Structure 1
Amino acid sequence: MTTSPDQTAKVRRVWEKTAPSYDRQIAFLEKIQFSGGREWLGARARGRILEVAIGTGLNLPHYPTDATVTGIELSPAMLAIARQRAADLGRADDLREGDAQRLPFDNDSFDTAVCALSLCAIPDPTTAISEMKRVLVPGGRLLLLDHVRSTWPPIYAAQWLLERITIRVAGEHFTRRQLQLVKASGFDIIEAERLKAGSVERIHATKPA
């Protein structure tokens, strides 16, 4: 898939507008649909951690205190909230503006790459996953959490209908599934689980050594 600058700019505009209310908007889903997901990510992250599309930094409280965290975010408004959250937690994390599809890091720079609830909206998820693989050391961990197409037909149908609006307005997909993309990128799958009628997926994979 080829991503146009217009697609990326549209996603940035959406998150710039959403940033002030994002934490309040997602709070209910955090409890009902994604409960335990951020803790799951934090328990598996280690070493030099890169969080792609860090958003408002909701994963930061769950990372090991001795880990080095670098985060990139397309939206400056979201990034500002993440930086304040890091400061409130007493974390000296490196949080910077950046595009998941063009990571500004050298090959083999990180031990863990995390992406939570974001590949659903990144215009080219295949490229984003390939970029995460590039910057991971051999044996490095890829940790993903996202909403995906449900295994229950009534929910899948509702997701498909919702996408007719969300893709056009915000570039957000509800029927994507990342596991096939992770496998196609050459990662080794360590854990993959689906929850909530298959509509939430957690993936732990490693870059071949």
Structure 2
Amino acid sequence: MGFREKYARLGERYNALEKPLDRFFCPLRKKAASFARGRVLEIGVGVGKMLPYYPKDIELHAVDAVPEMVEIARRRADELGLNARFYVMDAERLEFPGKSFDTVVSSFVFCTVSNPEKAMREIHRVLKPGRRAIFLEHTRSDCRLLNWLFLKPLDVLLGLLLDDNTLRETHLLARNYFKIEHEESHYRGIIRLLVGRKV
């Protein structure tokens, strides 16, 4: 069973599963969303955890590979009164023309995508020159001990449950495609916020 089937099965229960982490993640989601401007694409929108934090004046387009998640996010956007459109789409195969967006947002997505390099190329392709990509991601910690004692066991558990990989180095991959203008490391690098500009 792949990640699509696993997330589809979770549906609304995903909110309950992640609720204990909200007090850590939601302030970071709010900060990440504050960088969004203009025509915005969010990849891997999931159940819409980022939606309450976006500026009200953006034009939001959001994609996810799991139809059940897209429907939950769409309902949440309606409740929030957001100007948003939703699509069932893979991050590695974005069905948008090149140079379409002012901002691309990825929030806890690269731990799940099957081909991170291809997804990063797609983000770069659809972003307008001079505009920003925002990454809020699980990453390998700067502390080896933390990786072995905490992240490795968590990686095994989440791999079985959701096909997630919490030990990826998305922060290093992003540097290959974007000029990083802002970077924050939280919880010894377990979570990182990066803002990169397409040059």
Task: State the secondary structure of the residue aligned to 2:134.
Answer: strand
The answer to whether 1:147 aligns with 2:147 is: no
Q: Which amino acid aligns with 2:32?
A: L
CA-to-partner distance for each residue in 1:43-69, whole Å, 9 max, x for gaps? 100000000000111111111111000
Deviations 1:79-134 (A, max 9, x none): 11100001001123111110000001000000000010111011111111110010
Return the offset for 1:170.
2.8
Deviation at 1:168, TM superposition (A): 5.0
Question: Which of the residues 72, 80, 83 maps onto 2:71?
Answer: 80
What is the match of residue 126 of structure 2?
Answer: 135
Q: Distance in 1 between matches of 2:37 and 2:66?
A: 26
Given that residues 123 and 171 in structure 1 are in contact (C-alpha distance below 8 angstroms), is that contact kept between their aligned partners in structure 2? Answer: no
Cα offset, 1:193, TM superposition: 1.2
Structural mapping, 1:57-96, within 5 Å = 57-96=48-87
Distance 2:153 2:29 in 1: 28
**Alignment partner for residue 39 of structure 1, among 13, 19, 30?**
30
Q: Which deviates more, 173-182 or 94-103?
A: 173-182
Number of aligned positions between the proteins? 198
- What is the identity percentage for the equivalent residue pairs of Structure 1 and Structure 2? 30
Which residue of the partner structure matches residue 28 of structure 1? 20
Match of 1:174 among 151, 162, 166: 166
Matched, 1:18 2:28: no
Matched to 2:9, the amino acid is K
Counterpart CA distance in 2 for 1:35 and 1:196 is 14
Instruction: Check conservation: 1:49, 1:114, Cα contact below 8 A.
Output: yes
- In structure 2, the residue matched to 1:6 is none
Task: Provide the secondary structure at the position in 2 that maps to 1:167.
Answer: helix
What is the match of residue 193 of structure 1? 184
TM-score normalised to the size of structure 1?
Answer: 0.90
What's the counterpart of residue 97 of structure 1? 88
Q: Given the two structures, how large is their TM-score scaled by the length of structure 2?
A: 0.94
Question: For the aligned residues, what is the CA RMSD?
Answer: 1.4
Structure 1 unaligned regions, length at least 5: 1-8
Q: AA paired with 1:19?
A: G
* Distance change (3 Å), C-alpha of 1:199 and 1:121: same
The answer to which of 151-160 and 80-89 deviates more is 151-160
Query: Quick check: 1:139–1:207 contact (8 Å CA) kept in 2?
Result: yes
Offset from partner CA, 1:161-185 (integer Å, 9 cap, x none): 3323433553211111211111122
Q: For residue 4 of structure 1, what is the aligned residue in structure 2? A: none
